[in-house]
Structure 1
Amino acid sequence: MIQAGDKLPSVPVKLVDANGVSDADSAGILGQGRVVLFGVPGAFTPTCDTSHLPGFIGAADRIKAGGVNRIVCATVNDHHVVKAWAERSDALGKIDFIADAHGRLAEALGLAKNFGDLGRRYARFAMIARDGVVQQVFVQDVAGVTVSGAPAILLALQGEVVA
């Protein structure tokens, strides 16, 4: 699993943002400035849709005020699904999305997890990176959204310990 001090991997992905959908590289998306990346098991899935993503949408301005240049959500879904989820959630313009349809970035980060019928997806996590190097990683070990949610990231940006 990726850890603080590690360089983020370079993997081909689809970027879904306010400009639409484009072919991209994870290092290009995550490698400049201070970035908050959070991963969810799936677009439209219950906790991801009602708690994890909405928390980051609601806190986007405060997170960016904490010195973050970009907030990115990664999920193992195709770009059509991710675009529909981003639009329905009114997230575009606040949050960019990585559509990692084959889970290659999830695997490269060491953050892929088997979810039975859903297959291998992202473990629920959040991280803070600067210029492509991980500063902090928060992996959700229990159900729900605690250490990987927007409130925990806000605390981390303020320099408080997140347990």
Structure 2
Amino acid sequence: MIKIGSPLPTHEFTILTDEGKTTATSEQLFKGKKVVLFAVPGAFTPTCSNSHLPGFVVQADRFKARGVDTICCLSVNDAFVMRAWQQHQNADAITMLADGAGSFTQALGLAKDTGEFGGLRAQRFALVAEDGVVTALKIEAPGKFEVSDAETLLQLV
């Protein structure tokens, strides 16, 4: 499992924007940058849509003021779902990272199997990475949303 001091795994993400489909490697996203990365079990799910993502949208300017270059939201969903969710949530300040097969989430050691409910998903967590190395990490207990929220992460950047 990823821990403080660990480098983020190598991965290539598909990202959809107004300009269309593009790819970005973990090196392009994280190298030489201070990044907040939070993960949700699924786009359009209640806690993710009502609290987790909106908290980062509302606090985006405060993160930027504290030197954060990019705020990323990770989910085991495809890029089309992540883009639709981004638009639905007015979350243009957030880089939506689709981990369709869950391979990045698994490489982090933070995948969970929800069985028939949805299959492989990300555990709810948030981290700060500087130059691709984890400097802060908060992992939620199952079914909880207490330590990976925007307010908590603001205290760690």
Residues 120-139 of structure 1 aligned to structure 2 (within 5 Å) = 120-139=120-139
Q: Distance in 1 between matches of 2:82 and 2:12?
A: 16
Q: Which residue of 2 aligns with 1:77?
A: 77
Summarize deviations over 1:86-115 as a string: whole Å, max 9, x none.
0111111x1101111000100011111112
Residues 2-151 of structure 1 aligned to structure 2 (within 5 Å) = 2-17=2-17, 19-92=19-92, 94-116=93-115, 117-151=117-151
TM-score after normalising by structure 1: 0.90
Query: Does the C-alpha gap of structure 1 residues 126 and 78 become closer, same or farther in structure 2, counting only changes over 3 Å?
Result: same
Look up the equivalent residue of 1:127 and give its one-letter code. Answer: L
Look up the equivalent residue of 1:28 and give its one-letter code. Answer: Q
TM-score after normalising by structure 2: 0.93
Moved more, 27-36 or 76-85: 27-36
Query: Does the C-alpha gap of structure 1 residues 38 and 20 become closer, same or farther in structure 2, counting only changes over 3 Å?
Result: farther
When the two chains are superposed, the root-mean-square deviation of aligned CA atoms in Å is 1.4
Q: Runs of 5+ in structure 2 lacking a partner? A: none
Query: Does the C-alpha gap of structure 1 residues 108 and 155 become closer, same or farther in structure 2, counting only changes over 3 Å?
Result: same
Q: Distance in 1 between matches of 2:35 and 2:5?
A: 14
